[in-house]
């Protein structure tokens, strides 16, 4: 039994408490400054308002201003804030975290500084004091994991990733249950790039919902699965290019972090809802302001977070323009209110240096 602090009381952070407490661990669940209503409900004994489950008796809910109290004696910190809050989380932990306590990240995303793209474990390290960042061990979770399913113990398969295999083995042992199946990978870059990009490509697949609605019912009730599948495939193609470009391994693309996570994210949720609006022809700024003002749409958030950096890297030749037509399109749609027009003739281009097909061949040799 160990004591674990989860920072972020949203659906994924709270859902992760289920396998952890089933394994006999103690969990201190600390809300962010945006989780006040959730924490109040949990402290009053009510179910989690968004998950609809009662947390275990071994879960204690804390407000964010109680972080210094909640972190006392913990053996592991889990970061479950949304991607907007990653620097906030690092700042909040800076004065209370010991370098001897490892971090396990649930948060997914990429960051751009105008010149290069970074994975979020590196962002956390960059925003912690040097006395901590030089020694801290960080792992992350990737793969197809819908919080509502995990919260009711549906079978879930994920990848734990870190450059430290001993840490991975330890964390997997802490969290693995008969329904929470864990594999490990030392390809942190590949895993993190995949689980971030899946959001923007799921948003692209979601466009089809709006296209179908806009086109109207077919005489034979045909839908647009062909179209959605092609967009999905191009998303995988581009993910393979970017994973290779950033130094990751191709196996991450074609397993749980890549194809698995993209598939599950396309099944519904906020990316799909926003994709429908965009596919109907509503500009992103209007769709966000009028229809989803209080929702974090992770695909759009990623486009906004890395859009300018990707455009700069393409202009400088640091990224190959041929390789990323769908990502460029989604950045134009979200960042510049461009219309949702799919660049079909640019899909599956083979002119980019080390194409995804070449990468795949290297993997299976």
Element (H, E) at 313: helix 298-316
Residue (of 357, 337, 340) closest to 349 by Cα position: 357
CB 181 within 8 A of CB 156: yes
Residue 147 assigned ligand-binding role: yes
DSSP, collapsed to helix, strand or coil, labels residue 180 as strand
CB 300 within 8 A of CB 331: no
Residue with structure tokens 């040799």?
365
Question: Torsion angle of alpha carbons 117, 119, 122, 128, nearest 10°?
Answer: 100
Residue (of 247, 266, 299, 274) closest to 117 by Cα position: 247
Q: Which of 87, 116, 198, 288 is catalytic?
A: 198
User: CA torsion sign, 34 to 141 to 17 to 76?
Assistant: negative
Q: Is there a catalytic annotation at residue 198?
A: yes
CB 262 within 8 A of CB 196: no
Q: Residue 326 CB: number of other CB atoms within 10 A?
A: 19
110-112 and 3-7: which strand pairing? unpaired
Residue 8 assigned ligand-binding role: yes
Residue 9 assigned ligand-binding role: yes
Residue 153 assigned ligand-binding role: no
Instruction: Give the bridge partners for 30, in sequence order.
Output: 7, 62
Residue 244 assigned ligand-binding role: no
CB 167 within 8 A of CB 102: yes
Residue 245 assigned ligand-binding role: no
Return the DSSP state at 258.
I
Interatomic CA distance for residues 245 and 319, integer angstroms: 8
- The binding site consists of 8-13, 108, 147, 270-271
- The binding site for substrate consists of 108, 270-271
Catalytic residues: 198
């Amino acid at each position: 039994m160990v004591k674990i602090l989860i920072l972020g009381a949203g659906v994924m952070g709270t859902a992760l408490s289920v396998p952890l407490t089933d394994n006999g661990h103690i969990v201190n669940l600390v809300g962010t400054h945006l989780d006040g209503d959730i924490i109040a409900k949990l402290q009053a004994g009510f179910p989690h308002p968004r998950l609809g489950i009662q947390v275990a008796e071994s879960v204690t809910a804390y407000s964010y201003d109680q972080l210094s109290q909640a972190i006392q004696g913990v053996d592991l910190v889990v970061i479950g804030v949304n991607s907007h809050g990653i620097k906030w989380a690092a700042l909040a932990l800076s004065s209370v975290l010991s370098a001897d306590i490892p971090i396990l990240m649930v948060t997914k995303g990429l960051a751009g500084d105008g010149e290069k793209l970074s994975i979020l474990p590196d962002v956390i390290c960059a925003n912690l004091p040097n006395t901590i960042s030089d020694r801290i061990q960080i792992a992350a979770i990737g793969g197809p994991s819908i919080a509502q399913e995990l919260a009711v113990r549906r079978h879930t398969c994920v990848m734990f990733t870190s450059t430290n295999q001993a840490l991975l083995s330890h964390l997997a042992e802490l969290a693995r249950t008969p329904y929470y199946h864990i594999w490990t990978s030392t390809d942190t870059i590949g895993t993190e790039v995949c689980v971030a990009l899946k959001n923007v490509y799921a948003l692209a697949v979601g466009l089809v919902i709006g296209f179908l609605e806009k086109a109207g019912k077919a005489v034979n009730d045909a839908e647009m699965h062909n179209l959605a599948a092609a967009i999905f495939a191009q998303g995988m193609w581009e993910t393979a290019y970017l994973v290779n470009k950033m130094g990751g391994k191709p196996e991450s693309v074609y397993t749980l972090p890549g194809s698995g996570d993209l598939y599950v994210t396309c099944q519904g949720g906020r990316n799909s809802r926003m994709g429908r609006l965009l596919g109907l022809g509503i500009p992103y700024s209007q769709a966000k302001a009028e229809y989803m003002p209080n929702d974090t749409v992770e695909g759009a958030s990623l486009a906004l977070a890395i859009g300018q950096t990707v455009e700069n890297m393409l202009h400088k030749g640091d990224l190959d323009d041929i390789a990323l037509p769908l990502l460029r399109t989604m950045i134009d749609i979200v960042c510049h209110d461009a219309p949702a027009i799919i660049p079909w003739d640019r899909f599956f281009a083979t002119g980019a240096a080390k194409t995804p097909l070449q990468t795949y061949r290297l993997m299976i040799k």
